[in-house]
Copies of this chain bind each other. A is one copy, B any other.
Amino acid sequence: MQKPLILVTNDDGITAPGVRNLVEFMNEIGEVVVVAPNSPQSGKGHAITINSTLTFEEISLEGPQSDYSLSGTPVDCVKFALDKILTRKPDIVVSGINHGANSSINVIYSGTMSAAVEAGVEGLQAIGFSLLDFSWDADFGQAKEFIQEIVLKTLENPLPKGVVLNVNIPKLEKDKIKGIKVCRQAHAKWEESFDERINPHGKKYFWLTGYFNNMDSGSDADETALADGFISVVPVKFDLTAHEHLEQIAAVLNT
A192 contacts chain B at the CB level, 8 A cutoff: yes
A250 contacts chain B at the CB level, 8 A cutoff: yes
Closest-CB distance, A96 to chain B (whole angstroms): 17
A176 contacts chain B at the CB level, 8 A cutoff: no
A2 contacts chain B at the CB level, 8 A cutoff: no
Given contacts A160-B242, A246-B184, contact A43 B47 (CB under 8 A): yes
Contacts of A165 in B (CB 8 A): 249
A229 contacts chain B at the CB level, 8 A cutoff: no
Where chain A touches its partner, the secondary structure class is mixed
CA distance A68 to B55 in the complex (A): 34
CA distance A109 to B121 in the complex (A): 12
CB <8 Å contact, B250 and A205:
no
User: Which of chain A's residues 237-255 have a Cβ closer than 8 Å to chain B?
Assistant: 237-243, 245-246, 248-250, 252-254
A5 contacts chain B at the CB level, 8 A cutoff: no
User: Which of chain A's residues 86-139 have a Cβ closer than 8 Å to chain B?
Assistant: 105, 107-109, 114, 117, 121-123
CB <8 Å contact, B182 and A238:
no
CB <8 Å contact, B122 and A45:
no
Contacts of A237 in B (CB 8 A): 240-242
> C-beta contact mask, A186-206 vs B, less than 8 Å → 1, else 0?
010100111011000001111
A61 contacts chain B at the CB level, 8 A cutoff: no
6 cross-chain CB contacts under 8 A: A44-B45, A47-B47, A53-B207, A54-B206, A163-B249, A236-B241
Q: Report the 7 A-B pairs with minimum CB-CB distance, sorted nearest first.
A: A45-B46, A182-B250, A235-B242, A237-B242, A45-B45, A184-B241, A47-B47
Chain A contact residues, CB within 8 Å of chain B = 40, 42-51, 53-56, 75-76, 79-80, 82-84, 105, 107-109, 114, 117, 121-123, 150, 153-154, 157, 159-160, 162-163, 165, 179-180, 182-185, 187, 189, 192-194, 196-197, 203-208, 220, 233-243, 245-246, 248-250, 252-254
